[in-house]
């Protein structure tokens, strides 16, 4: 129990550092954020941060990894929460838009500023991230398979279906973020859904 309290405290501190680091990386980019500043802003000493994370690169990785698991969790929950395919997809889009909306700074960091982390570490992170993403897509495709079985969707590799819906939504949401506008859910989601479901061809 004492250990458990210690552990809880340890985790709390670790998260505090990650939170500050995320904000600083996002605002100033990986290279312009210094360990000194992260230390000062998080009210720990540099040495203490090095007890939690063995290098600046590792700290960065953990920031990204934490966010990646967060969105993974959110999207899986969004899908699980609903019963019908259509509702699941709706909820997926809503949850994703919400995450992008709330994490604009991070998204910008993640998509734009990964320059500067040691290459091999980045690859390791990528592999891990890629595996997480791939697993999500596999999970997603199982859900979508059901749509095929139900004769809702046409015979298309369900992995691709997931990739497409994810890619389409990224396209619109990131477009928003770059324009520094709020994500207009009510405008984008119907377009995404319409195109995803019906394509662009005119039905004869």
CB 141 within 8 A of CB 161: yes
What is the nearest approach in angstroms of a second copy to the Cβ of residue 158?
10
CB 109 within 8 A of CB 26: yes
Please state, in angstroms and rounded to a whole number, the distance separating the CA atoms of residues 122 and 41. Answer: 26
Please state, in angstroms and rounded to a whole number, the distance separating the CA atoms of residues 171 and 192. Answer: 10
CB 139 within 8 A of CB 76: yes
Please state, in angstroms and rounded to a whole number, the distance separating the CA atoms of residues 164 and 187. Answer: 19
Is residue 15 a contact residue for DNA (CB under 7 A)? no
Per-residue burial over 126-148, b if 16 or more Cβ lie within 10 Å, else e, is eeebeeebeebbebbbebbeebb
What is the nearest approach in angstroms of a second copy to the Cβ of residue 150?
9
What is the nearest approach in angstroms of a second copy to the Cβ of residue 167?
3
CB 72 within 8 A of CB 132: yes
**Interaction mask 31-70, DNA, x per CB under 7 A:** xxxxxx-------xxxxx-xx--xxxx-------------
Q: Which is nearer to a second copy, 16 or 164 (CB)?
A: 164
Is residue 56 a contact residue for a second copy (CB under 8 A)? no
Interface residue with a second copy, options 9, 81, 87, 194 (CB under 8 A): 194
What is the nearest approach in angstroms of DNA to the Cβ of residue 115?
12
Burial of 186 (0-12, 13-18, 19+ CB in 10 A): exposed
What is the nearest approach in angstroms of DNA to the Cβ of residue 39?
7
Q: Which does 171 bind (CB under 5 to 8 A by kind): DNA, a second copy, none?
A: a second copy
DSSP state of 1: -
Interface residue with a second copy, options 1, 3, 4, 200 (CB under 8 A): 200
Interaction residues for a second copy, span 22-41 (CB under 8 A) = 25, 27-32
Interface residue with a second copy, options 56, 67, 96, 122 (CB under 8 A): 122
Positions that interact with DNA (CB under 7 A): 13, 31-36, 44-48, 50-51, 54-57
């Amino acid at each position: 129990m004492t250990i458990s309290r210690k552990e809880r405290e340890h985790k709390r501190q670790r998260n505090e550092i990650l939170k500050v680091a995320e904000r600083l990386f996002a605002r100033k980019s990986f290279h312009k954020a210094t360990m000194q500043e992260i230390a000062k802003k998080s009210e720990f000493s540099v040495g203490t941060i090095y007890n939690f994370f063995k290098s600046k690169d590792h700290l960065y990785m953990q920031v990204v990894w934490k966010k990646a698991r967060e969105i993974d969790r959110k999207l899986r929950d969004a899908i699980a929460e609903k019963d019908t395919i259509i509702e699941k997809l709706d909820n997926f889009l809503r949850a994703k838009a919400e995450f992008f909306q709330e994490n604009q700074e991070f998204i910008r960091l993640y998509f734009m500023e990964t320059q500067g982390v040691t290459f091999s570490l980045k690859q390791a992170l990528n592999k891990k991230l890629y595996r997480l993403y791939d697993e999500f897509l596999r999970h997603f495709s199982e859900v979508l398979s059901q749509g095929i079985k139900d004769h809702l969707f046409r015979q298309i590799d369900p992995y691709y279906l997931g990739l497409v819906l994810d890619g389409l939504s990224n396209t619109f949401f990131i477009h928003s973020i770059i324009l520094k506008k709020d994500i207009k859910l009510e405008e984008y989601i119907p377009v995404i859904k319409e195109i995803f479901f019906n394509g662009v061809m005119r039905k004869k």
